Structure 1
């Protein structure tokens, strides 16, 4: 029978459903849990020979159609079987109430009847998850891997059951929403962020056209065990308890974070039960995550990696050395940190060590344990350093999120990290309460009883100081996780970057070796992340009076004050900070210039820096050597270049030679700018920059697929930058891979074009983007000029002529705007994706207001 979706008997879907091939549709008789013969509908690609079988189990209210992407794109030697559970999809309607235990037995009997070849990978969604896991526990001998999408096996403590499920279960509502009407199906499909097309929605409705066919949906909802007395509670509890038997079975979790039913708390619960699982969390996807992502690409990439022998990770008996310098008896009375406040509060290394220990006692009193994630939303200074090093000392994992990400970016970051604890100033604690950020809250400053109650704040740092000393746990091992640091979000969504203690130690050591940092040095960190390394290096540090989330707020006067406060010898700043120092340097006195002359080293990092800007800055610090280390949150330093060697050309900007212990290679590109080949060290080959070092990050947090694509099996990290190596071994960077302009005459790197244009005095900043189809793009320059409108306009012909006369690439059009969009952290990295969108619209005749 084909297409009779009103019958109680199993049948096949009518042909023509989008993405579904009729030849996949099969029927099979199998005894159910009670021994009654039932007919199942299922999808099966049934290759001639298969080395692996994927068993797909849907939830409620969907059917096997959910897995069509896997059948469409599976390798020739992989069999994909997607079942319609009894009472669901196009399988038999049993007229009985099927419990979780019965459904597991139903599925087991079906697979026995089908005689599926081993090994088997299970994949399941929604309440198909517990059924699939229950089946896997019966058939553990043949299960090679487990994949779960938005599901649950347990109701986490202090987490309310899903409101939508509780609502639908209300008397009168249940029958109406799940059986009489299609509201439950419609609502489930609209739990996605990207709404499915009308034809896709109709395909999901296809097996459920009559009220009689929808009865299974109602009974499925009724079988969700929301309390201990429910008939399926013990079965679910047993599945949950036995998950530890899969500790050696590869597992992958693919999660839509905007699910209104299975929230992140359920993901967290599953992670605790399957701590070895790979996780990819999609921040902007909903309940039907498989409808919003390229599911097959992720699944088959993961399966391919299972075939690669796992590399043995180095195991270190040595403990972390990140806090060693702070304990150095020789530094007890030496200055450690000074704050650029009115009082200029400061601590010695001895005082900092005592403060760290008291902070350890406080964290331990709150039940922070090794492996706990602690979000530190504190301004750089004494408190942040004490918290950071206390976390490292007891084995907790600091989560560092830049305030420059803004409210939305910070919310996404903190929800993806899901910290157990959150320590913050009053603004952060208020935001955490208002925006419902996860984590037990701890305030930096003392709160009143009313504030503590309203903000649901557990404790505060001043309270830690009066705690009685207790025995601290041993220092963490070097290969233990040490931090999750979020990227700036300048080149895509902000990602959590995981580091181990060993990798952070290697980064510290690489910086000290590269710049010959000694105990006599003192650091001004206008590049806030590196203020935190001062204590680890055993040198004093200060963050200037500035908004660290907006580096362009640093003035020349405040830089001088910071240098004077600690008699600094090192200055570390971003290009935006240095640019504003130069623009505010006109009022510096002779005494200010004398203070600046004592600096021996200036470092500029965070974004491409114009050589002339660095040369101008060094005129203020005549006794300093200037360098620009190239790198990223994932690995810094990667290369280093001295100011005299900084130059630009059609290849981009010279970022120098590899730093100590770093290897650089290039993966060549095809004509459309796609990285296609293995890394090579050949000179003058343009491609994606690959980096390998001992201080390269450990992986991306909850972004398994991104991580898998960003590194090779032999540990090359794909930087996402485009560049080439020259005959001297220097690396030239031309921009981001996604920003490469593929013209009819070849690939053009945007940075080289932009630097050429920025030589024109009236140009504040320039962006070069490609407009048109890949391989035939035309170069459009968008120029920032302060005396222009927020509405994008065509540049005056005099300026266009001047630009075309000095650029080595053909410029098709020049547009002007008052302000180009740059990242919040560095105020330097241009959002070329947005600029390209502006250019596309403006050139097609639309009015584009960038206000």
Structure 2
């Protein structure tokens, strides 16, 4: 064993990437160990600070981890980042320092630094327990706690992290941590993406020889993997003492791809610190401060405005299930399941009301408590309606994940939402078992004992309903109770969990009823699964046509006609992709099918910008329906509405006209600067382009485990920043021009895509187009990517004739290149939203000389 030698503290070498040498200082704590110890710290030395951040690193990093917090500290905020003794550039003591000693060390250091004002602790990895130990001794100073990928408890029935167990293998600890720099380099390998060479060199700088790496091994050895470890009692005391921090604002920032501190440890901390705000950075791993820029998040949280004004219109609203109960003696069909040959089965309102009541009581009987989360992996239809309204009646929060996200996307969503229960069809339960998705398994069908055991299923819907018949109906929850976590489509990034309370969903239901004059005699065909869920809540029959719900473009005219006939529908809702295929397959309709479609009074299409030609085509198939397109999003729907005749009246413009804001909703524009970023001052003046901001009673409550996303999207408090780009015209109509993430930042100012795309799409020989930017922000070049009609086999530069036509259609916008491709990537939920980010990356690669392929 290489001996642990004493070495004095020192300053870091000059030239380390991102490190200001004026931050470094050496501080001596005279009384430690009876001989005094010297520390290296980074300190921006703000005089008379209003707040101090005390930043505590883990193993095997050093204070360099917090350089971005020092570099971007706002006025009046002091940032002190410590190097533990035996770590970084602090003194090598030649002693063994366990958790209890390190907490004492940190207390001695802050005394020497004379930190006596309000403090927010910021910690990562093993720095978490050390900082919490300090916090529990300094509650009177504590203004907040921020933790990143750490832990305070290791359950005895759960295996510790595999990487730690591996390094603790006899004979490996010294080789990995001391003899070689393997542990330091391994930590860098956990970062996503891997840091550049200069950053890696900076992290290795204080650990350049075996003699100075003993502290790394000491930290690993001090992790209490068994109950008899000498540090176990200290760590348990820290964990048990967290109750004393219940009134301290807390922020948990997490990289969920961490192979060391998985979401299990996040959930444990959230349970011990229930006041905590949480942000999970999808894709980030263990080295969170390297994987993402945490400084804006930290400072936004410190400067947060916690006051969220209530939004309402003073209306008293019915419960989400009131319409079902009101029709509890009604034998009319409530929900119909369709198959290839037409209607397969249905439930009446009376049966649905009884089923919802029994299921709610049964869920309570198996232990579901108000506020528990239940994920529903059930296709649209009878079972989904029963589960949804039964869960709501029981006071549970439903987690709704679109099957179009795919197995990976569903898994990410469920691990983020962390439901206590998961109701699914056997196929979904098999995926849940294989992928280890959270939640007690409940099957929609009764399974054989062996199959249930193999799938980890504890209950079936039939069994729960039987229990419910002899169990008391749970008390109704109020309007402020949480109702749902509904995940977005993921069209512009990882799907986000949108949180709703009961009162917000009640207001959403009522807004739709009022907007479209929906009455009890209406009947709904929803070729978009989530919209079908509103039918029972409105007290009207509903059906989803026979189609692949993960691919709306598979809806045929025959399937739509069969669904309309099944309930004698008066309303049809479909995405643009669904309506395009209905129009394309209309020649297959019989005379009787056309007769049924002619009885529909209202046609709705949404989910993406809806071109007028799509609605005109659909009207030829559904001739007596008034076409409308409601504008909205997962976070708030409806926001605005426009009919086909109003679209025609508005004519061509820069974007898609989505009409006037719905009554009771406020919509404003936050204008762009020359870089395409919102300025922060809102207006309703015409022809001002910027971000669309919305305030409505039926607006989302927030985002689940995405504190920073919620904070950024809620400025000023009470508003929702949609991420959509738009403007008002002189008549007060709202036009949508794209998404902020797709705005092209050119030397002449921002360019938005949708208006240009629509102009190009009207060219003969063009099936679809995407306008994207390549190059650095501020000097981006505009590129047009075209899907020609007829199609092509290989991507290429467009011919001179097509390129000239495209440039002639976009007016003053300078198009640097025109490319033709076989197809463009679109989202799975709507089959309509183009993934322009992916197209832009492809175009940049191609124009730099890369392989063509297809976006």
> Scaled by the length of structure 1, what TM-score is found?
0.95
Change (3 A) 1:844 1:224: closer
Q: What's the secondary structure of 1:383's corresponding residue?
A: helix
Deviation at 1:720, TM superposition (A): 1.1
Distance change >3 Å, CA 31–CA 725, structure 1 → 2: same
* Mapping 1:470-489, distance limit 5 Å: 470-489=471-490
Change in Cα spacing, 1:777 to 1:152, as seen in structure 2 (3 Å) is: closer
Contact 2:118/2:142 (8 A) holds in 1: yes
Aligned partners of 2:478, 2:318: CA distance in 1, in Å?
Answer: 6
Name the residue aligned to 2:730.
727
Cα offset for 1:807?
4.1
1:263 to 2:262 alignment: yes
Post-superposition Cα deviations, 1:257-277, rounded to whole Å, max 9, x if no partner, equal: 111110011111111122221
Taking a change above 3 Å as real, the CA distance of residues 535 and 320 of structure 1, as seen in their structure-2 partners, is: same
Shift, 1:133, TM fit: 0.8
* Distance in 2, Cα, partners of 1:309 & 1:432: 37
Q: Look up the SS of the partner of 1:359 in the other structure.
A: helix
Q: Deviations over 1:521-574 (max 9, x none)?
A: 111011211111111111110000011111001000000000000111111110
CA distance in 1, matches of 2:167, 2:543: 57
Instruction: Give 2:820's aligned residue.
Output: 816
Distance 2:330 2:724 in 1: 43
Q: Supply the distance in 2 between the matched residues of 1:839 and 1:317 (Cα, whole angstroms).
A: 51
Offset of 1:313 from its aligned partner? 5.1
CA contact (8 A) 2:602 2:627 kept: yes
- Residue of structure 2 equivalent to 1:179: 178
Aligned to 1:581: 582
Alpha-carbon distance change, 390 to 845 in structure 1, aligned in 2, over 3 angstroms:
same
CA contact (8 A) 2:654 2:756 kept: no
Map residues 26-175 of structure 1 onto 2, 5 A cutoff: 26-31=25-30, 35-156=34-155, 158-175=157-174
Conserved 8 A contact 2:669-2:727? yes
Distance (Å, rounded) in 2 between the aligned partners of 1:94 and 1:319 = 68
**Distance in 2, Cα, partners of 1:691 & 1:447:** 47
Where does 1:783-794 land on structure 2 (aligned, <5 Å)? 783-785=786-788, 787-794=790-797
The aligned counterpart of 2:470 is: 469
In structure 1, what is the equivalent of residue 224 of structure 2? 225
Residue 749 of structure 1: aligned partner: 752
Aligned residue for 2:384? 384
The separation in 2 between residues aligned to 1:461 and 1:21, in whole angstroms, is 62
Aligned mates of 1:199, 1:546 — CA distance in 2 = 54
CA change 1:780–1:20 in 2 (3 A) is closer
Change (3 A) 1:458 1:738: same
* Deviations 1:585-626, CA, capped at 9 Å, x for gaps: 012122111111111111100001111221221232222111
Q: Partner of 2:319 in structure 1?
A: 321
Q: Note the C-alpha offset of 1:731.
A: 0.2
Q: Secondary structure at the match of 1:249?
A: coil
- Correspondence 1:561 to 2:562: yes
Q: Distance in 1 between matches of 2:450 and 2:315?
A: 47
Q: Is the 8 A contact 1:319 1:475 kept in 2?
A: no
**Equivalent pair of 2:328/2:350 in contact (CA under 8 Å):** no
* 2:656 is the alignment partner of 1:653: yes
* Secondary structure in 1 matching 2:59: coil
**What's the offset of the Cα at 1:805?**
4.2
Relative distance call for 1:595 and 1:196 in structure 2 (3 A) is same
Q: Distance in 2 between matches of 1:215 and 1:774?
A: 46
Q: Name the residue aligned to 1:605.
A: 606
Cα distance, 1:472 vs. partner? 3.4
CA contact (8 A) 1:318 1:477 kept: no
Determine the C-alpha separation between the residues in 1 that align with 2:197 and 2:780.
34
Does the CA contact (< 8 Å) of 2:676 and 2:749 recur in 1?
A: no
Give, in whole Å, the separation in 2 of the partners of 1:798 and 1:6.
Answer: 76
The corresponding residue for 1:500 is 501
Q: Secondary structure at the match of 2:766?
A: coil
CA displacement, residues 2-24 of structure 1 (integer Å, 9 cap, x when unaligned) = xxx98522222222221112221
Name 2:621's counterpart in structure 1.
620
Q: CA deviation at 1:34?
A: 5.1
Shift of 1:332: 3.4
Q: Is the 8 A contact 1:688 1:721 kept in 2?
A: yes
CA distance in 1: counterparts of 2:719 and 2:524, whole angstroms? 32
| 2: CA distance, partners of 1:749 / 1:38 | 60
Bigger Cα displacement from structure 2, 388-397 vs 241-250 = 241-250
Q: Structure 2 vs 1, CA of residues 798 and 9 (structure 1 numbering), >3 Å: closer, same or farther?
A: closer
Contact 1:156 1:269 in 2 (8 A): no
> Deviation of residue 736 (structure 1)?
1.2
1:838 paired with 2:835, answer no
1:690 aligns to 2:689 (yes or no)? no
Q: Using the alignment, how far apart are the partners of 1:485 and 1:466 within structure 2?
A: 29
What secondary structure sits across from 2:466 in the alignment? coil
Cα pair 1:320 1:501 within 8 Å, conserved: no
Change (3 A) 1:591 1:687: same
Identify the match of residue 334 of structure 2 among 320, 333, 336. Answer: 336
Partner of 1:594 in structure 2? 595
Q: 1:331 to 1:358 in 2, by over 3 A?
A: closer
- Cα deviation, residue 785, structure 1: 2.7
| Unaligned residue ranges in structure 1 (runs of 5+) | none
Q: CA RMSD in A?
A: 2.2
Distance 1:167 1:804, change over 3 A: closer
Supply the distance in 2 between the matched residues of 1:830 and 1:236 (Cα, whole angstroms): 50
**What is the CA–CA distance in structure 2 between the aligned matches of 1:127 and 1:420, rounded to whole Å?**
29
Q: Given the alignment, which residue of 719, 723, 740 partners 1:716?
A: 719
Question: Counterparts of 1:47 and 1:498 in 2: how far apart (Å)?
Answer: 40
CA distance in 2, matches of 1:816, 1:62: 49
Task: Report deviation, 1:215.
Answer: 1.6
TM-score (norm 2): 0.95
Change (3 A) 1:790 1:270: farther
Q: Is this contact kept in 2: 1:339–1:542, CA < 8 A?
A: yes
1:75-119 CA deviation, whole Å, 9 max, x = no partner? Answer: 131100111112222222333322222211221122122211311
Structure 2 matches for 1:256-655, cutoff 5 A?
256-305=255-304, 308=305, 310-311=307-308, 321-329=319-327, 332-341=330-339, 342=341, 344-467=344-467, 468-646=469-647, 647-655=650-658
Give the length in aligned residue pairs: 845
Residue of structure 1 equivalent to 2:770: 767
CA contact (8 A) 1:648 1:755 kept: no
Aligned equivalents of 2:138, 2:778: Cα separation in 1: 52
Distance 1:598 1:548 in 2: 24
Distance 1:335 1:772, change over 3 A: same
Whole-angstrom CA distance in 1 between matches of 2:779 and 2:113: 52
Pair 1:416–1:176, CA change in 2 (3 A): same
| 1:657–1:312 distance in 2 versus 1, CA, 3 Å | closer
Task: Quote the Cα distance in structure 2 between the aligned partners of 1:648 and 1:117.
Answer: 65
How far is 1:448 from its partner? Answer: 2.5
Distance 1:332 1:705, change over 3 A: same
CA distance in 1, matches of 2:30, 2:366: 54
- Secondary structure, counterpart of 2:184 in structure 1: helix
Unaligned runs of 5+ in 2: none
